[in-house]
Amino acid sequence: MQHREHLNVLMGLWGAQTTWTIPDRLPELPDEDLPGERLEAQAVSRRLDLDAARQEIITTSQTLGLDRALRFVPLLDVAGHYEHEIEGGVHTIGPSVGLTLPLFDQGQAVTARGLALLQQSRLRYAALAIRIRSDVRSAHARLTAARARAAYLRKAVLPLQARLLEQTQLQYNGMFTGVFQLLQARREQVEAGRDYIEAVRDYWTARVELEKALGSRLRVGSTPSTTPSTLPAADPAPPAPDPGRMKNMPGLPGM
């Protein structure tokens, strides 16, 4: 119950939505998953944090452009002036105008700061993209390993355990072996079945981790018909990325 409510909170469910149920069995493994390379490209085009980093570059870039445009516009100081000399009895009053002439300060510092910020945001973007690609690869590797383990258990271990039990039963029939060995064989078969269920669970967990790394749901090797839950579709597909947006940033890992 506690876990269920925790999940409701995490998913933001209330009212009738909280009556969700889960099936008795985990769905079987899909036939195939996406190859790793396509997944990396998909991730870097869909991750919102990468989008945000990209937006920062654009913003920084625009700020820099403004600085550059404004750097030869003189700054005007306008002031009043009053002077009184006691000894000579002379009073001077008048306005004063100060003009900044870009002789020595031609805005280099501001421009350099802007450039540095731009560079920083570009590198941050690159770093994030590299991390995302790495995360996708490693999540994909975990998914592949989980799939291999589950498949091996299903194709090799479970039939072998069934055969072991069958042969032990035959040996028991012939009184070659006792009831304890027979029960032991059955127990080992049950344990192998549990190992398989855990391997399937590990697969689906790894798949969710990969989807998190991708920033979107996996579509290939799609979820089998027996969906794991009756959860509402809380994760609509993200908008398609604009391929033109990053044209001015060649050579970045994001591309």
Partner 1 sequence: MPGVHYNPVVIPNGAKVPWKLVDGVKVFHMVAEEVWHEFIPPGEGYDGLRCKVWGYNGVCHGPAIEAVEGDRVRIYLTNRLNATTTVHWHGILVPSGMDGVGGVSQKSLAPGETYMYEFTLRQHGTGMYHSHHDEMTQIGMGMTGLFIVHPRGLPKDQWPDRDFALLLHEWRIDPGTARPNPNEMVEFNVLTMNARAFPGTEPLVVKKGDRVRIRIGNLSAMDHHPIHLHGYQFLITETDGGCIPESAQWPETTVFVPVGSTRTIEFVADEPGDWAMHCHMTHHVMNQMGHQFPNMIGVEPGNLDKTIRGQAPSADGTQRPLLPSYMTMGQSGMADMGDMGMKFPENSAPMIGGPGKYDYITMGGMFTILKVRDRLSSYADPGWYDAPAGTVAVAAVSDALRRDGIHVTGNPGIEPAGIESPAGLRQFNPDGRPAPYANVAPKVAPALLAGVDADLTTIRTGGEPVTAAHEATGANASVPAPSTSPAAGQLWTCSMHPDVISDKPGKCPKCGMKLIPKQ
CA-CA-CA-CA dihedral for 112, 117, 119, 121, to nearest 10: -170
Of the two residues 155 and 163, which places its CB atom closer to partner 1 in the complex? Answer: 163
Of the two residues 179 and 233, which places its CB atom closer to partner 1 in the complex? Answer: 179
Interface residue list for partner 1 (CB under 8 A): 167, 169-180, 182-183, 186
DSSP-assigned states of every residue in 160-171: HHHHHHHHHHHH
At its nearest, how many Å lie between partner 1 and the CB of residue 228?
25
Reading the block at residue 206, the tokens are 């790894």
Cβ proximity of 129 and 42 under 8 Å? no
Reading the block at residue 148, the tokens are 């291999």
Cβ proximity of 95 and 79 under 8 Å? yes
At its nearest, how many Å lie between partner 1 and the CB of residue 192?
15
| Closest C-alpha to 77, from 98, 96, 60 | 98
Of the two residues 45 and 189, which places its CB atom closer to partner 1 in the complex? Answer: 189
At its nearest, how many Å lie between partner 1 and the CB of residue 165?
8
Of the two residues 158 and 252, which places its CB atom closer to partner 1 in the complex? Answer: 158
At its nearest, how many Å lie between partner 1 and the CB of residue 182?
7
Of the two residues 178 and 228, which places its CB atom closer to partner 1 in the complex? Answer: 178
At its nearest, how many Å lie between partner 1 and the CB of residue 155?
24
Contacts of 215 (CB under 8 A, 6+ apart): 43, 46, 47, 48, 238
